[in-house]
Amino acid sequence: MWRVAGDMVQLDPDKPRAEPGAYVRHRFRARQLGGHGRFVKIVIHYRLFTFCDEIEVLSPDGASPRRPAAALQAQQSLETRDPERHGWRGGRDAAYAETIGSRIPDTPAGAQLRAELAAVLSQLATNPPAPPRGGRAILPLDDTQRRLFAVNGKALAAAGMPKLVAWKVNRYDPISPIDVGTEVQRKAPSLEIRALRGERRADAVVLVNATAQKQRIHLRLASLPESVNATLFEVPFVETTTADVAAALMEPQREAGGWTVDLDAGMSRQLWFAIQPTAAAKSGLYAGGKLIAKSDIGVQLDLPIRLHVSFVIMPRPRLHLGGWDYTDSGTAYDVGPRNRDELVRFLQAHEVDVTWAHRSTLPDPADFQDRNSQRSRDRFATLDAWLSRWPSARARFVYLAVQDDLSGSRRGTPEFQQAVSSWMKDVASYVAQKSAAGAIFGVLPVDEPSTPQQAARIEDWARAIRSASPHPVIYEDPVFATPSAFAGVLDLCDINGPSWTKFVAMSPQERAALLPKGSRELWFYETKGPIRAMDPVSYGRLAAWVAFRAGAKGIGFWSFADAGGGSSWNEYEATRGGGFAPEFLAPDGVVDSKHMMAIVEGLEDHERLSLLADRIAASEKGAAPVLGRARMLLESGPQRVLAGIDRSPDANILWDTGKDRSLPDVVANEVLDLLEAP
């Protein structure tokens, strides 16, 4: 059992800036803790990176004054078995309480509310709320936290707010469980979407329960044609290691004619409205739709819906999308027999056309020579199962994790080159027989090479692989500090896929070393996390805009399989920390998310831009005014959208960094204007 001694930031007489904008050094001093024990634990909760090189624990003897006995006794009454969680969970709930307190009026009734708030906050500080072991960390986490939010409902009611309120904010902006929006945001909220036929697009609105009791909200979509494929999601607040985020897109509980959502007292809940018009959908404006939200206490909100369906049809996006799914084997990261097939279906429904496998999925050279052995039959069965699991994949890659030899032949020898060439020819020929025409099959020899030694290994393997006919595409994801110094190795690769955030920060000379060259393609990948700290727009959606500007053919994210060693629904229990999977991945299933939706929207943005480029290229009237505007927009549009990324990619991809998240929608619709122009 640990006793909470105090907050060093509050006790430090020389308080540092809460979030410095650059690297700083600070010596924290807390000379009045006055505690004693066998062990000392320091809990650090910080936005980016913190380094500590020395901890000094002073004895109680000396000139430093001890804390008053009453203060020490009060602080040491806070015992916890989990100091880390106690630290950051307590800080979040204290911040909620501060906001709630600012809403309580200075009246006798308000005084009672303040006393109630203080009592609840004291209970939360003593025993921070936690989800049930193995459960989903959806707020409220327990009855005490539920009472905290109920105090907010009472405060809102005391301030005269209507019992059920709707307000509008960009669907990707971060919100909190007790946000109520501004007066402008609460004025006549509505939903409006513009989409191509076959394209996914969404809008959102936030409901607030400004009472002290839970409300059941009955939801119904009215006066919308079936051909627009309208769906509705609720967005619960989920505790993560970085914040309480509204990111999971869950289908509400179904009822006859619609859905129901239970809205806890004093809490907000975002509703996402999405469409994907069919190819048969009639183009034009649909202005009479409504989202009807009727509470069980008799309050009803009618939110107008305006849809603009284009006559332009969205083809399958040409930009490749993958995410090291590793759905080739029984278990990989957080993918296993219970959720693998559901994950594959989910990814395929979200435009993922690139799948990844382990080296162990490929038959060895000996397996090709003796196809009747049990080992050979097992290997080919595993490979066949992976290929059949992804019948429509346009690219399949295998991470080889190569070493310095193959089948006893040392790298750099003729025997090695012959062994690799023969093996790769057999593998490529076999996969080609079971794949659609034009599908890519490739291998990743060395993951994230950064050293000359790794470059030399890639060179030997690449030369041997390229000597085979047919041979797999050679994919590399280099992280060389100076790519231009390894131009020879990069030229041996068919696809170079650097980190896109590093790429935009490179000098023009270093970017040039990675750009498309002849038949060599540029792809991008990224591996920042934990994912719920990343902005769905600037991290997920804008990757496709960077790809369009640079001429890249594919993007990838680490990783559709990595929930942190557990479940996306409960990051604190994950064995590897906050996860990377953009979807909400759990052992028993998969749920959509804002992060995944943003990636898909990015692919569709890229396709809109590409369709406009196609129109320019195919036109015989290159001087037509619309074509001139199109050329200007294809140049200026990505620059406008990516201006923040270009200035500071590492800061801009964080979700809590302020930015205009509507800009991709604005420019994408400007592109659509020109696609629809005569």
**Element (H or E) spanning 463, and its range?**
helix 452-466
Helix (H, G, I), strand (E, B) or coil at 357: strand
List b or e across 116-144, with b for residues whose CB sees 16 or more CB atoms inside 10 angstroms: bbeebbebbbeebbbbeeeebbbbbbbeb
Residues near 25 by Cβ (< 8 Å), separated by ≥ 6?
none
Which stretch of DSSP H or E encloses residue 311?
strand 300-313
Q: In the prediction, which pLDDT does 623 show? A: 64
Report d(CA 199, CA 348) in Å as an integer: 15
- CATH number at 320-676: 3.20.20
**CA-to-CA distance for 250 and 236, rounded, in angstroms?**
8
> What would the two tokens of residue 477 be?
């994801």
Residue 216, beta-bridge partner list: 262
Phi, psi of 193 (to 5 degrees): -135, 140
Strand ranges in 388-484 using DSSP code E only, listed in sequence order: 395-399, 405-406, 409-410, 440-444, 473-476
Per-residue buried b or exposed e for 590-620, using 16+ beta carbons within 10 Å of the residue's own CB:
bbbbbbbbbbbbbbbbbbbbbbbeeebeeee
* Alpha helix segments (H runs only) across 238-354: 340-349
Is residue 638 a contact partner of residue 606, using CB atoms and an 8 Å limit?
no
- Contacts of 104-108 with C-beta under 8 Å, sequence gap 24+, read 104/155, 104/158, 105/155, 105/158, 105/159, 107/158
Residue 91, pLDDT score: 87
Is residue 261 classed as helix, strand or coil in its secondary structure? strand
Cα gap 471→443, rounded to integer Å: 10
Tell me if 563 sits within 8 A of 581, measured CB to CB. yes
Residue 530, preceding peptide bond in cis (omega within 30° of 0): yes
> What are residue 677's phi and psi, to 5 degrees?
-70, 145
Contact 359, 368 (CB under 8 A): no
pLDDT less than 70: residues of the chain: 17-22, 32, 34-35, 45-49, 59-79, 81, 620-623
How far apart, in Å, are the Cα atoms of 301 and each of 162, 164, 581? 11, 8, 35
- The SS3 of residue 114 is helix
pTM for this prediction: 0.93
Token readout for 54 is 């020395």
| Neighbouring residues of 319: CB distance < 8 A, sequence distance ≥ 6 | 544, 547, 548, 552, 553, 554, 555, 603, 606, 607, 610
CATH number assigned to the domain with residue range 164-313, chosen from the 4 options 3.40.50.1820, 2.60.40.10, 3.40.718.10, 3.30.750.24: 2.60.40.10
Q: Dmax over Cα atoms in the chain, in whole Å?
A: 90
Dihedral angle over CA of 598, 604, 605, 610, nearest 10: 150
Which H or E element spans position 222? strand 215-222
pLDDT of residue 61: 58
Domain positions in the chain are: 2-129, 164-313, 320-676
Could you tell me what percentage of the chain is helix, strand and coil, using 3-state DSSP and rounding each to the nearest 5? 35, 20, 45
Q: Is 521 exposed, middle or buried (0-12, 13-18, 19+ CB in 10 A)?
A: buried
* Cα 348 to Cα 232, 354, 384, 540, 586, distances in angstroms: 20, 9, 18, 17, 18
Q: Nearest to residue 539, comparing CAs of 645, 398, 429?
A: 645
